[in-house]
Each structure stands twice: as structure tokens, then as C-alpha cells.
Amino acid sequence: MSLLDGCTSVLVVHAHPDDETISTGALIAELVERGIRVALLTATRGERGEVVAGPLSVLEGTDALSRERERELHGAVRALGISAHFWLGRSPARAESLAARHYLDSGMTWINPGLAGPATDVADDALVRAPLAEVTDDVGALIAHLQPSLVISYDHGGGYGHPDHVRVHDATRAAARSLNTPFAEIRQQADADGEWFDLERHLATVTAALRCHASQLTVEGIELVHSGGQREAITTSVGLRTR
């Protein structure tokens, strides 16, 4: 029996614009193809992201980058067929009685290739500086509002260690558990405890969505090239494990 059997709606929770496409674009396309309504919650605008060399590089480190990444995300949401998008800290993804807030990208540093750690300069309004209980309550407010069949987000290591990814995992898992909503974490490799989805047929959809994130990456054939020059194959297969 598949984890997705009986699902009518799914909430996918990510930390920054482009995460939804890079790690779960093919899965989202699969859910949409199955007739499952997909909502996306994004925690930050990715203000600390490095920008691809070229005409958009002047945006790096400016307020305009936040607006550009919002615009890029809207394009990817359309390309993937996502039904509704929400920002963490804004109603209905904000705990009742609390004023709206804007969670900032916390930044990161590379500890070694493929593993990120905390940045040395983290703003007071950054996601990782917010109390975990507050972030959890905000995610929980949206879960209560949408009442999805399933919530999906990162594993406990945030995929590659980015502090914002880890915080999103911790808050989302806790919020789902408190509301008795099934939670599944994204797996990058098949394992005995999870379910693996081979979704190469969604490559064209994922590629179209990736191209929307032009400030952060470029697409070359079946590879994406990050702003720092790192190359990786476009992800078209993904695992899910309930926790």
C-alpha cells in the first residue's frame, strides 16, 4: 500500500524559494497528476542566497533580491501546478493573536562539500533565532486551516544541514504531531523504512519550474548549476518516510 493512497490534499513545507522544486518538484508534479491538491508553505524569502553571475547579480544582498525571489517562486508554483502558496508568519500560517512577521533567511556556511552549518552573522529576525514554539505554532495554524491528508518536509538533518531546513523540519514535525496529522520526511536515497518514487516522466515539468529560479541556478540539459558553480543532476526521484 502506498503512502499516498487515499490522500486528497498534501501540504509541503520548505525553507526557501527553489527548495520546493529542487528537492520535491517531481513529487509535487506526481501528486498533482494523481489529482491530489498540493499546498506549499515557504518559511523565508531566501534573502541570503547567492545570485548567479549575470544581469541579476546586482540584486545580491539588496532588498530587491527578496522581491525577485518571491516573483520566481510564484512562477515555479504555477509551473508545478501547486494549488495554494503561503508564507510562514502571515495568516493563515500565523498563530492566532500574534501580529504578522517576516522570517528572514538565516544564512549558512559550508562545513565541507555537501554539508552546511550555521552562518557567523545571523540577523535577529532570522528563522533560527525565532523560538521553536512560535515557528511550530505558525506551521500548526496552517495545518489546522487546511487539514491536509499528509504533511511533507525535510528529514531531521534538513537534507544537507542548512539551519533553516533543520528548523523547518523540527517545527513541521512537531506541529503535525500535535494535530495528529500524518507527517512524512523527504529521503534522498531509498531505504527499507520508506517508499521510493521514480518520477523521471516529470522531468520536463521540473525543468520548467527550475528555470523560474533564475537568480539562484541555471539549467544545462539534465543538470542544474547552482550560483556557486556546483552541479547536480535534476532530481526526478524521491523517497518519503513517515515519522
What pLDDT, in 10s, does the model give residues 81-108? 999 999 999 999 999 989 999 999 998 8
Question: What pLDDT, on a 0 to 100 scale, did the predictor assign at position 219?
Answer: 96
What pLDDT, in 10s, does the model give residues 163-185? 999 999 999 999 999 999 999 99
What pLDDT, in 10s, does the model give residues 48-76? 999 999 999 999 988 999 999 999 999 99
According to DSSP, the residues that pair with 115 across neighbouring strands are 112
Domains and CATH numbers, the chain: 9-242 (3.40.50.10320)
Residue 115 has pLDDT above 90, yes or no: no
Q: At residue 20, what are phi and psi to the nearest 5 degrees?
A: -60, -30
pLDDT band of residue 210 (cuts 50, 70, 90) is very high
Residue 114 has pLDDT above 90, yes or no: no
Residue 229 has pLDDT above 90, yes or no: no
DSSP string, 59-115: GTTSHHHHHHHHHHHHHHHHHHT-SEEEETTSTTSS-TTSPP--PBP---EEEETTE
pLDDT band of residue 118 (cuts 50, 70, 90) is confident
Q: Which residues contact 116 (CB under 8 A, 6 or more apart)?
A: 108, 109, 110, 160, 161, 162, 163
Q: At residue 42, what are phi and psi to the nearest 5 degrees?
A: -115, 130
User: Considering the chain, what percentage of its residues have pLDDT values greater than 90?
Assistant: 85
Q: Helix, strand, coil % (nearest 5) of the chain? A: 35, 25, 45
User: What average pLDDT does range 143-164 have in this prediction?
Assistant: 95
Question: What pLDDT, on a 0 to 100 scale, did the predictor assign at position 146?
Answer: 98
Q: At residue 192, what are phi and psi to the nearest 5 degrees?
A: -65, -25
Question: What pLDDT, on a 0 to 100 scale, did the predictor assign at position 105?
Answer: 96
Residue 37 in contact with residue 179, Cβ under 8 Å? no
Residue 109 has pLDDT above 90, yes or no: no
Residue 117 has pLDDT above 90, yes or no: no
Q: At residue 206, what are phi and psi to the nearest 5 degrees?
A: -65, -40
Long-range contacts (CB closer than 8 Å, 24 or more residues apart) made by 124-132: 125/101, 127/15, 127/43, 127/44, 127/88, 127/103, 127/163, 127/164, 127/167, 127/168, 128/163, 128/164, 128/167, 130/103, 132/167, 132/170, 132/171, 132/174
DSSP summary character for residue 234: P
Q: CA-CA distance, 44 to 123, in Å (whole number)?
A: 13
Q: CA-CA distance, 141 to 219, in Å (whole number)?
A: 36
pLDDT band of residue 189 (cuts 50, 70, 90) is confident
User: Considering the chain, what percentage of its residues have pLDDT values greater than 70?
Assistant: 100
**Owner of C-alpha cell 513545507:** 13
Residue 186 has pLDDT above 90, yes or no: yes
Residue 207 in contact with residue 200, Cβ under 8 Å? no
Which pTM does this prediction carry?
0.96
19-33 and 203-212 are packed helices; what angle lies between their axes, rounded to 10 degrees? 140
Work out whether strand 150-153 and strand 183-187 pair parallel, antiparallel, or are unpaired. parallel
User: What average pLDDT does range 226-234 have in this prediction?
Assistant: 90
Question: What pLDDT, on a 0 to 100 scale, did the predictor assign at position 139?
Answer: 98
User: What average pLDDT does range 184-190 have in this prediction?
Assistant: 92
Q: 5-9, 142-146, 192-196: which has the minimum mean pLDDT?
A: 192-196
Work out whether strand 9-14 and strand 150-153 pair parallel, antiparallel, or are unpaired. parallel
